[in-house]
Structure 1
Amino acid sequence: HEDSLRYYCDTCDESICRDCIMLAHKDHKYNLIADSFTKHKEALEKCLNPVKGKIEGLKKVLSALAEREGEIRERGEGVLEEIHEMVEEMIAVLHQSERKLTEQAKRVTDAKLKVLSEQMKSAEMSLSILKDVEDYVEQSLKTGSPQQVLRSKKQMMERMSEVTGGINVEELHPKEKADFVLSKDIKSLHHIGDIVTYSSTALQQCRVKKIDHITPAGKAVSFSLSMEAPDSSVLCVPLSSLRCSLVPVGKGDEPIDTTVTTTSTDPGVYRIQCNPSTSGTHTVKVQVCDVHLEDTSLVIPINPYLDNITPVRTVTRLKRPWGVAVTDDNML
């Protein structure tokens, strides 16, 4: 180019000089460099907006990832602390069981040794008596004159008969045996828990397994609830992660709050208590963490608010059993 590149060919997307306009770029669309720069700058800035949007999005993602990393590390430390506390509790229980078993073993041992001790005293006393009789008779035979021996023969015979007759050697054989053992039951110690992750995907496959033991208590009603994991095992979650509410079917959408408790005797079984305003079918809504499980239904057979029922009219002409139906609004 003999002239400076003061123009920009939009057709070829390159800078050109004045001679190029008349030769290689004849009939092409072109503008001054300054004008083309302004136009293309705006286009580039417009194309840059999605890039900036992605950058901001990725910054938020990185921030969320860092925050989640902190939460996971904190949860991991919390779980390790829970494991330590659980093991410490188990060790305390084991020490308590050790003391209990030790005392039990000592009681059994002492009881058996007491019986043996009494038998031993009786045997030693009997042996002493027999030895005395034996020594007396042998001494008489050794040192006494024939006249003395014959004179005391009857007395010695009676004494020996009396002594031997009063001692039953068979009864003095050991009555107790070393027949006590430790009955071990440590199966549960080989598996004291699992680390369970409650991912949304896994929880969405869980379901309410069973609702039973519906128990009225005044104006409150309680029932037990258990959940099933995808592998058909009982789902156990912390109470802080479980929410449950009841919604009367066909009587408004206002949910009834519940109180959820659990017991150490039935892992995975939760006791739900609430104060329903009416009887009939209710939808049970269960939420684990942030996942709603599939709804199930529960029939509350009584109206807890009908404490005293006064008959409106007595039918006296019925002479045989008749069926009686009661609607949800308590009409016959």
Structure 2
Amino acid sequence: MSEDLSDIVVPLGISERILGEVGEVRQKKTASHVVMELESTRDCSQAGKPFFCPSHPSEELWLFCEQCDQPVCQDCIAERHQQHSYDFTSNAVHQHRDSLRKLLRSTQEHMSTLEDVLGRTDGVGSAIRARAEAVATEISLFARGYVKAIEEHRDRLLKQLEDLKVQKENLLHLQKAQLQQLLLDMRTGVEFTERLLTSGSDLGILVTKGVVASRLAKLNSAAYSTHPREDDNIQFSPQERAGQCQGYEVFGAVICKAVDPAKCTLHGEDLWSTHQNELTGFTLLCNDTTGEQMGRGGEAVMVTITHKDKKDCAVKPTVCDNGDGTYHISYSPEEPGLYAVCVYVKGQHVQGSPFIVMVKSKFRKHQGMFHCCTFCSSGGQKAARCACGGTMPGGFQGCGHGHKGHPGCPHWSCCGQVKMSSECLSGLPSDRSQRSLLRTVEL
């Protein structure tokens, strides 16, 4: 019996330190139990000595309380465990030994799984470190190449800036030389004329008058600009896309163009007319002083749209910078009538501004079909008619190719308009019987 008990107690492997900690936090269920030192039990079991009850030192532990899950003596059964189910330790040990073995196998399996996970974790850690080193190498190579590309782009920009400066200085020097020569010629002509008028004889003035007058007139008519043809308009735009350099996309461009409002133009199909409550718009093309498109955005564009008769009826337009020197202006007028549209660039009117827009009443959609002729579209029915007014011989009330009234091209059956995207000029009868006469098919 004591040998069976040793199989239960000894494999627990609880150290004295843990026993002390467990003793401090015992649950209420085992609060009255006495904890024995493991060393004494180990010595007792190994020597084949009986295991005595701590509460009844003279009684041997040879029973097992199933409810309290602990070995007890017969006195314990008679006292504190009187109503508890119990069995002999020799019988109970088999069940508990099997459960412990089952838990042991499960724990061993978990240990094997954990060892495998730890091994894979170490492998993943090594892979992470190796991959990080490889990516760090890629980053360094990319950065070195990028820095080299940026430095090359910088050198190009500085070279472009230097060439632009020299070009402007040369043109300015040439203009200065021309103006100086013209001024020198004028001074010479003025001095000669003054001496002639003050010191010359009457006959001398009359003889040289024609040559002197012709010379002065020619000097006065000489064309020259009242402003220097060159300016200091040199800017750097860091957001400007500058293409690629050594395979890297780079930004930043030297800009020397200046927008000229007088050279900016307006474009669009609906520039002069539109319809009520319909989103419409036009395009502003910004050009420089030479008439060349700017090729970049960022200009100060302002647009005002006001009703000619209702000053308080203004339309708020939307200006979209396309980034290439063009700007799309969109708006939707709520009232019909004439509107004055003003387009400003840098506070100045552009070419064609201001202009008048005719806003028509709400657009009337076509209620018929866009067809070639009623003869073809209706399958040759004589009663089929069309709003174009065309007829055919033989009693046909509708139009046909090459016959009277036919427009000669596809048109709308409801109003006869030949443009696909047009406004309907006449309503279609609401009576279905008459509408059925205008049976058509789409081309």
State the TM-score, normalized to the length of structure 2: 0.32
Bigger relative CO (Cα 8 Å, ≥ 6 apart)? 1
* Larger proportion of helix: 1
